[in-house]
A and B are shown apart, each in its own frame.
Chain A
């Protein structure tokens, strides 16, 4: 099992985090399209942490049980999300973005868990399984 954490504070950290994720996804045997999905999902979460959470950490793990896959945990200690359902609905942004980062990330991956609340920061865990 590989596990590594990258601190994300700015745009350049986002690039290294998703580059790192793409490398792991490729070594695990994910196809080009899934690699692209995973890389983009990491990019979305890492950017959320940078833009909304004023920085956070991206942890990338390989899962090698009977099911193989990749797990990404993106955590920040920012102000948290007040209305998770609204944030997940799509089309809602507090910073003039498209507002589909979270909902889109959920569609890109097989599993999506989020814990967040005002003052509690945000932790998003996503998984993609290798078929």
Chain B
């Protein structure tokens, strides 16, 4: 009986010796499946060789690092930009088939040996495909995370509209991460501008539940500590009724229906201060 190591050596030897034939077969089948339409012949040659060699190398030494690295690059840089994820996965499945059929044809006379070789080959082939698929998923997730961060930054401008008045127009959903970011940005702006009044407009916040209310209350308290009073504007009638039913106590908040009336109030508040000083 031949040991597994010997068999593996034999298998990789066969894959290496027949590299050109198998690679051409693979490329031919992918071309027939119209997977490579947008690649130039040079790209096809380079990529198919690189993938073929990486796979053989992985089968040979059982180390998946090279495959992982290659798959990550493929997903990230879009080396195969001209191919969709669907085409790339189909292409990889095809390579698996090409290897598989080759193994069958080589060992068809010795069924016991064939099974043993397949026992070695199948887990490796499956794992390689798993790595490729995972690389794409991870790359997508990375992009989504990046975009979320980008949206966080975009979505909270703090605008100085008078020497001492800041306006924060909130739009969309206020989750904990965004709330923390809003507070930080607002507090920095209060210190930078020496503002004494902050108007937070929540016309664009569709749902005000207790968590959002809690974030608002904490923002108001923190602003207060830096010497700025807060006016909340833009609570819709439906949200106002809902907040009352929820039992959120807004008595410590100064609220106005619209941003316009909030600004008017802020002006009045500032004028009173000026009068008092004189």
Contacts and interface: CB of A to CB of B under 8 A. Distances in A.
Given A32-B238, A33-B238, A36-B239, A107 B210 contact: no
A105 to B, nearest CB: 8
A59 interface: no
Interface in A44-79: 44, 47
Interface string A96-127: 01101101110110000000000000000000
A100 B207 contact: no
B181 interface: no
Contacts of A33: 237-238, 241-242
User: Looking at A40, A97, A100, A103, which has the most chain B CB atoms within 10 Å of its CB?
Assistant: A40
B211 to A, nearest CB: 6
B246 interface: yes
A105 B247 CA distance: 9
Contact of A11 (B175, B206, B208, B238): B175
Contact of B238 (A35, A101, A105): A35
A107 B245 contact: yes
A32 B175 CA distance: 23
Contacts of B246: 40, 44, 100, 104-105, 107-108
Nearest to B174: A11
Interface residues of A, number: 23
Given A11-B175, A100-B248, A108 B210 contact: no
A97 B217 CA distance: 11
B214 interface: yes
A130 interface: no
A90 B173 contact: no
B242 A40 contact: yes
B130 interface: no
Contacts of A36: 207, 236, 238-239, 241-242
User: Looking at B207, B214, B237, which has the most chain A CB atoms within 10 Å of its CB?
Assistant: B207
Interface of A: 11, 15, 18, 32-33, 35-37, 39-40, 43-44, 47, 90, 97-98, 100-101, 103-105, 107-108
Q: Which 10 A-B pairs have the closest CB atoms?
A: A104-B246, A36-B238, A11-B175, A43-B209, A33-B238, A107-B245, A98-B210, A36-B242, A101-B210, A98-B214
